[in-house]
Chains A and B, each alone.
Chain A
Amino acid sequence: MQEDMASLKLTELQIGKPAILADFAVSRLHQRLLSMGFFPGAAIRVMRRLPWRGNLYVNIDDRNIVLRFSEAALIGVTIP
């Protein structure tokens, strides 16, 4: 990973800021995340989210997906 890349959790990503999906923790969800287009290297952006620790509405490779806060917390992203 390059020095000038900031890596953070998807839940910490600012709304509207384009990022790259880096990795995610192995869990039961892994399989499902992959099958829905969450590949390392995919372009990802948080479009909007619900207040408190509500659900996230993300755009990943031109596809809109909603997921829970707890799931998003498993996903690491980098800002190029």
Chain B
Amino acid sequence: MPTIALIGNPNSGKSSLFNALAGTHQKVGNYPGVTVDVMSTTIQNDGKGPVTLLDMPGLYSMYPTASDERLVVDILLQPHHPFHPDGIIYTVDASHLESQLMLFTQLADMGFPIVVAVNMIDEFERREYVLDTRQLSERLKVPVIPVSSRTGANIDSIRQSMIDLVSDHPANSRPLFYRISETRRRQISTVFGNGEVQDWYPSLVRMHHSDRLPLAEQQQEKMRDLISTGAFIPLRVQVEETMRRVDHIKRAIAGTVRKVHGGGAFSEKLDRWLTHPVTGPVIFAAVMLFVFQAIFAWATYPMDMIEAGFAWLGQQMHAYLPEGWFLSLLADGLLAGLSGVLVFVPQIAILFLLITILEEVGYMARAVYLFDYILQRFGMNGRSVVALISGGACAIPAIMSTRSIENWKERLITIMVTPFISCSARIPVFALLVAFVVPYEPVLGVFNTQGLAFAALYVLGALAALIAAWVFKKILRSSDPSFLLLELPAYRQPDWTNVWVQVRIKVGAFIREAGKIIVIISLLLWFLASYGPPRQMQMAEETARTEAIRQDLSEDEMRTLIASRKIEVSFAGYLGKSIEPVIKPLGYDWKIGIALITSFAAREVFVGSMATIYSVGSDDDTYRIRETLAGVTDPRTGKPVFNYATALSLLLFFLLAMQCMSTLAVVREETGTWKWPVIQFVFMTGLAYVVSLVAYQLAS
């Protein structure tokens, strides 16, 4: 099937155009080695056969600075890449022709058949500009189609042009926009041999990228010679080329755009407040408060429904399936794991819905501007703001969102510290433990002590992230230049299709990445907690049974008593006991140890494990678990196990420790090595250990 790629600068309205062309029939490309989302869809054309349309990440030039941009260049340079296009629809924002057409001239010189889609023509015309499409098309020597993905104007013409793109090849006769000098041609011939080179420009681009996409050995050697003798200084050659192209474009569009009036007054008025050094951050804080308030307020109901649904499903299984290991595996292992993943979907969906809307409206770019300066002091970048906020829902999509940070060191630091931000999975644990640390008391009428303690935990997590970032900044060395050059788009209405697609991608990433690991680990934990040395398991069951009969317990009570006795002698119980010496100084006994081990699959598992170990029957009642825990005493000393000091120490441990295998897996994927997730695990968990130790020793 012929492939056509949508390419254009970021902010050229590329994704909106893609959505307008594709509707919602799109899927995320998943080719090995591709770490950036490439959306694809199949466009049906009457009679002419289907065409695959790809939405590539935004690109500024053939000499990119960000990794997602490099991916696009790599695809364009490798004819055998599965995403290599047969033709290109080049999108430009009608209001920024001059700067956005530079890349077009490069793609044209690469030899691709191209159609230029002049996007957001409605906004352009609303600002009382006029574009002479015919004249522009003559000068650029390609078809030029004005479109609006918002109003749908000319979308059909684009669809039609796709067929023409792949059926005839106007590219052959086109002169180059950039006339490569004689000297340069000689250098190209030296590298590629014999003056046989036909495709001057693609060859030149390959030379620029020879560090990442190596040439044949002999060519690579000649290339090294050229660079070492100073005859070919890539940066200088690139700048020279860009200047020439810009010149060319200026001449090409001169007279095609006529302006009647200026615009942007509304955005300017808003920015007076939103980007003000004082009111800007205050408004930002208010917006964030609203966002997190919304998560708590709106997510409760769907979360309860999901939990109730899974509880019902579990009951049905127990009612209709025969007792035995298989039922236990399904109901206690698999179902528990699935429920543990899906219950967080509402919170994550709501946060990303709101973040995407803020991005679409143009507000996030302002937040980047406001906080870049401060985040730089901590080795990060204004763009880290998005990841740090997203971390409040789930670190997985948050870490994936760091791809837009160009500087590797800044991106790495953001990846390393984002998991300190308190995510959804910590909430149930905090909810269980906070009551042991702070008794409930109203404060100023509207607040209460426990709510404030909750807020304090969030602040503490953010502080930990900043401090850790500062330490990384001091340790890590980097020669990459750090910069921020960001366009602030005019405020506009969100493109709802885009919002929907983005939320789907983010939630999908969570379900996929967290899901597979949490489910696997849930099954593993189920095994560890359900099995142990057979003789001991049987003895535990028998003693529990006799005890239950002696105490005249009900059927249900007996079952929970047996479960709690059996887990003591299960493999998980042995594990818990074996780590007791390590966790004793933090105030935890081996029972908490078991729950702690299980929580390394995913934090929220802790609550369920505590319920099982302390035989609370059902784990959906935080209040009952809390009551039971408060009554537990150490058989040797007779003092309560669960006191202020232990709870505080546990709270801090959960706040700081890296207890999410799924996040580690994503970090490994994003950084390409196990080195960083290992470092992350060690320093976060190490820090958690030390802080909890100190807190416990001081508090007890």
Which residues of A are at the interface with B, using a C-beta cutoff of 8 A?
A: 26-37, 39, 47-48, 50-55, 57, 61-68, 70-71
Contacts and interface: CB of A to CB of B under 8 A. Distances in A.
21 contacts: A30-B242, A32-B65, A32-B485, A36-B99, A36-B485, A37-B98, A39-B246, A47-B271, A48-B275, A48-B276, A55-B484, A57-B488, A61-B98, A62-B262, A64-B271, A64-B488, A66-B365, A66-B368, A66-B484, A66-B485, A67-B484
Interface of B: 9, 60-61, 63, 65, 95-96, 98-99, 102-103, 235-236, 238-239, 242-243, 246, 250, 262-264, 267-268, 271, 275-277, 365, 368-370, 372-373, 376, 382, 481, 483-490
A54 B373 CA distance: 6
Ranked nearest first, the 3 interchain pairs of A and B with the lowest CB-CB distance are A37-B99, A64-B488, A35-B60
Given A30-B239, A67-B484, A50 B246 contact: no
- Among the interface residues B95, B103, B276, B372, which one has the most CB atoms of the partner chain A within 10 A? B372
Of the candidates A29, A31, A54, the one having the most CB atoms from chain B within 10 angstroms of its own CB is A31
Given A28-B235, A66-B484, A66-B486, 18 more contacts: A28-B65, A30-B239, A35-B9, A35-B102, A35-B242, A36-B99, A39-B98, A39-B250, A55-B372, A57-B271, A57-B275, A64-B487, A64-B488, A64-B490, A67-B486, A68-B373, A68-B484, A71-B485
A43 B271 CA distance: 20
A36 B487 contact: yes
Contacts of A61: 98-99
A31 B242 contact: yes
Contacts of B271: 47-48, 57, 64
A19 to B, nearest CB: 18
Contacts of B98: 37, 39, 61
A62 B418 CA distance: 36
Nearest to B481: A28
A39 to B, nearest CB: 6
Contacts of A54: 277, 373
Given A26-B239, A55-B369, A34 B102 contact: yes
Nearest to A41: B250
A52 B60 CA distance: 31
A33 B243 CA distance: 11
Contacts of B268: 47
A67 B242 CA distance: 20
A32 B484 CA distance: 10
Nearest to B489: A64
Contacts of B488: 57, 64-66
Contacts of A30: 235, 239, 242
